[in-house]
Structure 1
């Protein structure tokens, strides 16, 4: 008898946990969509139905009964996009999987915006200098520039570095997926072994990488080549795949990059 009671209670607990989990997943699916407002409307209708039944309001109760009776079909029609998305995720096995956190989504959006803007600027040889702050604070350098504090987008980054734009001269500093400031001045490297063919942008990028753990991206104004500095090292002429891996390694913790590191020992001028 004790064993049967235990199994019964265990089944009830599992049942409650499953229902709670399903409700949670439904909330995550509809969050940020127009379905949230529709759900609020449904809650109001159900509350009115309950109150009309409790207070004996026959006319209101009759109307609410009609709404509830035909509401199932209406819900299927209204929530068709959300139900379709849920079924698609179920078919891909993602409905009950762990989705990206809001921080991961922001980092992914930042990476996509950076890749799009860097590709655009490299193709047109628009010089750019972008530093991604990590654990070492960069407030001293942020204060040398113009505060922006805006969400990152490829359009914003491109407009900042367009030649002769008010903020194009200097570096952009990104902190926690927010564009903190533009037209910032970074310290130039005093390393005597750096190739003399490298321009001011590259020297500034190497310099800030020697005193912080930031990752800094340079687009050469002369060649359009994209380079990255990190921990005093420069990685030159990166292709799209290697660049994305390095950005993921910086912004998405736990995603390792396979890009080999190498110290600059010379090469063509990258302005």
Structure 2
């Protein structure tokens, strides 16, 4: 028996001894990596991370093929890239440091709250949006409605006023009614709820946009270029309903076409991401910390 134990020990003797101190270090590193991934997911850094992964893959391919010139160029530009990343993401980095000092870390980590803010984009919500857009189009009431998909719109929400109401056609029509306090700006929708109104959107620099279209349409294209959101626009001049996605603006002829577009673009997206509740819960906690 002693010989058997000695033989087993000889096979596993190369494994270092793990102490209680090592376990604490592993836990701390795991938490820090997890928090960093959450921060990346909730900011524009998520898009940056995908770009970095692509560059690293290109760098690896160049190393395997021994493309010396390309390797030299990548090595020289990497120093500039680090500085550029710090400058570009200065607001996000500052916000992350502020959250570290303001939020309750334990509450954030172990929160299991699952509120109705996590509801998926439903058929009823689609019907209410279609009804609201074409009702406003009939009387030429201008409207700008941004629907969140994968990219969080927390930064845009903070430029407006919190609403947190269930999406209904009556609510949207009342918000965009002329001479009301909330009619100027955009509405943000997450799931089945209107989260904020009077929000400011980035304007597109695309010179191909028709000069006949105003600031509202340019803002819709702008936010669709910066995020993966779907934006609905109702023209105040013509009453025409349009949809902005991925930097492109498409005019919609009737309610059935708009319903089909929303079902494909938004509802499928929420169904695909619905299984990742931990990300949604953490995103919600980040927004609560901002408040």
Task: Give the structure-2-normalised TM-score.
Answer: 0.50
Tell me the equivalent position of 1:128: 143
| Aligned-pair CA distance for 1:154 | 0.9
Tell me the equivalent position of 1:218: 233
Is 2:264 the partner of 1:249? Answer: yes
Tell me the equivalent position of 2:250: 235
Tell me the equivalent position of 2:155: 140
Conserved 8 A contact 1:113-1:154: yes
Deviation per CA, 1:114-144, whole angstroms, max 9, x where unpaired? 1111121011110000010000111111000
Match of 1:154 among 165, 169, 180: 169
Where relative contact order (Cα < 8 A, 6+ residues apart) is larger, the structure is 2
Match of 1:179 among 186, 194, 203: 194
| Aligned-pair CA distance for 1:177 | 1.6
Conserved 8 A contact 2:182-2:198: yes
Work out the CA distance in 2 between the residues paired with 1:190 and 1:251.
Answer: 25
| Aligned-pair CA distance for 1:251 | 2.9
Conserved 8 A contact 1:107-1:251: no
Work out the CA distance in 2 between the residues paired with 1:109 and 1:202.
Answer: 26
Work out the CA distance in 2 between the residues paired with 1:225 and 1:110.
Answer: 21
Q: How many residues align?
A: 153
Is 2:217 the partner of 1:202? Answer: yes
| Aligned-pair CA distance for 1:108 | 1.0
Structure ID, larger Rg:
1
Conserved 8 A contact 1:171-1:183: yes
Work out the CA distance in 1 between the residues paired with 2:214 and 2:179.
Answer: 19
The equivalences for 1:11-22 within 5 A come to: none
Moved more, 146-155 or 235-244: 235-244
Structure with the higher helix share, 1 or 2:
2
Tell me the equivalent position of 1:110: 125
After the TM superposition, which parts of structure 1 deviate over 4 Å for at least 4 consecutive aligned residues? Answer: none
Work out the CA distance in 1 between the residues paired with 2:269 and 2:157.
Answer: 27
Work out the CA distance in 1 between the residues paired with 2:155 and 2:125.
Answer: 23
The equivalences for 1:45-124 within 5 A come to: 103=119, 107-124=122-139
